[in-house]
Amino acid sequence: TSTTPVVVAVSARRQMMKQYGIAFLIVALMGGALWYMLEKQGRVETGLFDKITAFVRPEPAAVKVNGEKIAQSLYQKNYEQLALQAASQGADAADPATAEQIKKQAIDVLVNSALLKQAARNAGIVVTPEQITERYQGIVDAQGGEEALAARMAELMITKEGLMSDIEDEILIQTHLDTAVDIKSIDVTKEEVDAFYKSVTSNPEVKVPPLEEVRDQVEQEIRYGKQQELIGAYIETLKKDAEVEVLI
């Protein structure tokens, strides 16, 4: 397509920054003692009590942020997704140096997300079920329907429960950032657009449409990059007063 050559590098960055969380399972028990006995006898296999055991006896934490423990399973999911994305871009995820970089990125995602959610909650922000449903439907429509979304989620190893949790986190964080970070002041100049386009066209192997055809996309990507810089600076201010302990 005409936009792909121009935005490919930034699109890859967006994928690497995208975080997918772990779902929180709420289990309702009816006739628990009977099911426990049947499962132990091998007459049923639900895995239900393994989940209950995990709830009662929480798994080890990967990171602790201001006293809040972040589970290792969430770190592992982030790591696997980042490794998958790195491999899709030609990187060798098994290379020790690459693996170490992916680990650092996975931990950064956990820490940054936790700090932003904590800041949002401290600011009194609450996400409603209606907001989550509306955002979910928007994702369904953008993907071309439930089946297409399900296929994409399977590719990224995301459950629907996990997606709904991620949507809640996304709305929580974005609502806070809308007031905490002044993105309205961002300006993109003609010189910046020209420089960005020139950097892409400097590679003779990349076929790029005329600038006037993709100027809006280029400007959007530059604006996005500046937004990320502002958000990164804000996260650094949160980190200055935070207690972060990496446990893996």
Residue 155 is predicted with a pLDDT of 83
Residue 56 is predicted with a pLDDT of 53
Residue 5 is predicted with a pLDDT of 40
Instruction: Characterize the bridge pairing of strands 68-71 and 61-65.
Output: antiparallel
pLDDT tens, residue order, the chain (248 aa): 444 444 333 343 343 333 333 222 222 223 333 333 444 444 444 444 454 445 556 679 999 999 999 999 889 988 988 898 888 888 998 899 999 999 999 999 999 999 999 999 999 999 999 999 999 999 999 999 999 999 988 887 788 988 999 899 999 999 999 999 998 889 999 999 999 999 888 888 878 899 999 999 999 999 999 999 999 999 999 999 999 999 98
* Strand ranges of the sheet holding 244-246, from the earlier edge strand across to the other edge: 68-71, 61-65, 244-246
Residue 200 is predicted with a pLDDT of 85
Residue 58 is predicted with a pLDDT of 67
Which two tokens mark 41? 């006898």
Residue 57 is predicted with a pLDDT of 61
Residue 133 is predicted with a pLDDT of 95
pTM for the whole structure: 0.69
The span from the CA of 173 to the CA of 122, in Å, is: 12
* DSSP 8-state code for residue 69: E
Residue 81 is predicted with a pLDDT of 85
Which two tokens mark 38? 């049947």
Residue 55 is predicted with a pLDDT of 52
Report the candidate in 120, 107, 111 with the shortest Cα–Cα distance to residue 244: 111
Residue 157 is predicted with a pLDDT of 76
The SS3 of residue 236 is: helix
Alpha-carbon distances, residue 11 vs 6, 35, 89, 155 (angstroms) = 10, 48, 11, 17
Residue 70 is predicted with a pLDDT of 93
Residue 26 is predicted with a pLDDT of 24
